[in-house]
Amino acid sequence: MRADRALIAALRDLRRRPAPEVRGPKVAWAAASFVHFVAPVAYFTLGRRRS
C-alpha cells in the first residue's frame, strides 16, 4: 500500500513541478517510477532540485 502512495505522489509531483526543477528528464523519472517501489523514493531524494 505504501508503494502505491509513493508512486502516486511522485507522479503527481512530476506533473506539477516545472522541468528545470527536476534533475533529468521528467519522462525518465515517470517511467522509472513504475519499475520498482524504490524509484518513487529515489525521485524525491535525488530527482528534485532544492532551491
What pLDDT is attached to residue 11?
93
What is the average pLDDT across 21-33? Answer: 91
**Residue where the block lists cell 523519472:** 29
Q: Cα(51)–Cα(36) distance, rounded to whole angstroms?
A: 28
Do 1 and 27 contact (CB within 8 A), yes or no?
no
> Burial level of 21, CB count in 10 A (0-12/13-18/19+)?
middle
Q: Which of 17-21, 34-38, 41-45 has the highest mean pLDDT?
A: 17-21
| pTM for the model | 0.70
pLDDT tier for residue 26 given thresholds of 50, 70 and 90 = very high
Predicted confidence (pLDDT) at residue 1 exceeds the cutoff of 60: no
The confidence score (pLDDT) of residue 51 equals 67
Helix (H, G, I), strand (E, B) or coil at 9: helix
